[in-house]
A and B are shown apart, each in its own frame.
Chain A
C-alpha cells in the first residue's frame, strides 16, 4: 500500500516537529505555512537584513529557537515545504491554499492542524485608538522588526506574557510607563504549588518580574482597567485600584489577556469541540494520540488548547509518531511514553498559569458606547439592543442580527467578549451561548484591484 498523502498546516514548534518526526520514519509531508520563514509566532525569524544574534530576540529561549530554525532549514530541502502560503479553507480531503496570488488545492489523506494561537483579547473603551496593540503584537514588533510600539508604553492585561514583553522592552531600551495586571498578587501565590512543577520556567517568570523593579518600572497588580483615553490616538490609561481612580500618560498600550487557540480550520474540517471551563474557550477535542474526532485529522500545539511552545514541540513530535505508527512504521513506545510524561507535567504547569492569570470578566461590564467589534465599529449598546429586540440567545444568531463576528477578523478579536456579553444579557452560562461557526475563507483573500492587468 502506498503511503498516504500527509499535509501539515503551520510551521511553528508543533508543525515543524511533526514534519521532522514523520521524516525520521521515512514519511514526507506537505508543510503549508503563512509566514515566509518557519518558527511560528513564538520563534518568528526576522527578515534576512537583521543581523543581531538570536539571544537579542529570543532571550533565554534562543537555544530552542535556533534548534527549531535549524530543523526547518534542513527539512526544507527534504520535504514539500510551502512558506508564504495561506491555507484558507479545508473540506473533502482538500486544503485550499493561496501563495503569491496563486490558488492551489492540496489533497490529503492525513491532515495535521498546527495553527497556533493569538492574543486573547478583551475590548476596553478606547481600544481602537492608534497606539493600542495586542501584547503579542508588541512583542513581534520588537523581535521581528526591532521596534517598540511607541515612545512611552503601558502594558495592560494579564498573563505571563505581560511581564515577559515588558522585560524585553526594558532590556531593549524602551521607555515603559507602567505594567498593569488585572489579577492580584494573591492569585499568583495560590498557584505557586502547581507552577513549581516546571521550576525553571517559574524561575524565569520571577526573574522577569523582579527585573522590572530593578529597572524602576511601576508594576501594579489587581487593577480594574477603565479605559484608554485620547481623541486621535492614545494619551492615557485610566484604571482603578481598590477604590482609587488612577491614570498614567503614554502614547502606546500593549493589551493582552493570555492566549487563545486559532481553531478555524479544525472547525471547518468538522472536528467536535468542547467547552473548556478553565480557559473559558471552545476547543477541538483530541485523544492521547493527538487525533481529533475526524479520522485522519490530527491536532498539534496551541491550536488545540494553550500549552506553550515546549508543549507544542512535544505535541508535534507525538502526532508525528502517531501517524508513523498508523502508516505501519515502527511504534516508538518508549519515546511516546516519555513525551506523554513530559506533556502531563507541562499540563500541571499550565493549570497553574490559568489559576495565576485567570481571564477577567470584563466583557459583560463594558459601557454601552465601547466599540465591541473593531472591524465594523459596532458598539456594546447596539449589540445589547439587537439581543433584546430579537430575543437572541445564541452566538450565530447574534452575529446575523448585529454583524458582530461578521467582519474581516471573523470574531477573532471580539468573539470572546461578545459571548460573555450575550451570556450576561440572557442570564446563561458562557458555554450555553455556543460559539461562532468558522467560515471560509478563514482570512481575507486579496483580489486584483480593478483596472490592473
Chain B
C-alpha cells in the first residue's frame, strides 16, 4: 500500500486526546500519576480511558513496533498491560483510583 500523504500530525489534532467523552462525562474528578506526572481522570474510568482522555496512545508495543492504544477493550487481546503500584494490570479492565501510580513505559509492558 502507498504511504499516506496525510501522515503528519496537524497541531490541532495532536492536542486532542484520543477518546471523546460523550455520555455521563461529568463524574467526580480524581488525580493519579501517569508516568510520573500528575493527571486527572473521572471516577469510574478504566486506566485505559483515563490515559486516552489525557493523550493519544497508551504505551510502546510489547513486540517493539510503534505505540499502541489498546485494541479489543474486553480483556482478550492483552495489549494494554501496564505497571500499576508495583504490580501489573490490564488497563481496559482495571479502574483508575485516586493516587494510583500508572507507568506505561519501556520494560514494564514487555511480557
Contact = CB atoms under 8 A, between A and B. Distances in A.
A238 interface: yes
Nearest to B45: A145
Contacts of A252: 18
A446 B68 contact: no
A133 B70 contact: yes
Interface residues of A, number: 75
A10 to B, nearest CB: 12
Contacts of B93: 34
Nearest to B58: A130
Q: Is the interface of A mostly helix, strand, loop or mixed?
A: loop
A128 B61 contact: yes
Interface in A40-82: 41, 46-52, 56-57
Interface string A163-190: 0000000001110000000000000000
Nearest to A34: B75
Given A444-B81, A447-B88, A448-B86, A371 B65 contact: yes
**Main SS class of interface, B:** loop
Given A145-B49, A229-B6, A136 B77 contact: no
B105 interface: no
B72 A230 contact: no
A387 B67 CA distance: 29
A150 B4 contact: no
Interface string A114-126: 0000110000011
Interface of A: 34, 41, 46-52, 56-57, 101, 118-119, 125-126, 128-134, 136-138, 140-142, 144-151, 172-174, 226-227, 229-233, 235-236, 238, 249, 251-252, 262, 367, 371, 373-378, 407-409, 412-413, 443-444, 446-449, 451-452
Interface of B: 1-4, 6-7, 9, 13, 16, 18-25, 27-28, 42-46, 49, 52-53, 56-58, 61-79, 81, 83, 86-89, 92-93, 95, 108, 111
20 contacts: A46-B44, A49-B24, A49-B27, A129-B66, A130-B18, A131-B18, A134-B72, A134-B77, A136-B72, A141-B19, A141-B49, A141-B73, A150-B18, A150-B19, A172-B23, A229-B2, A378-B63, A408-B111, A409-B76, A412-B76
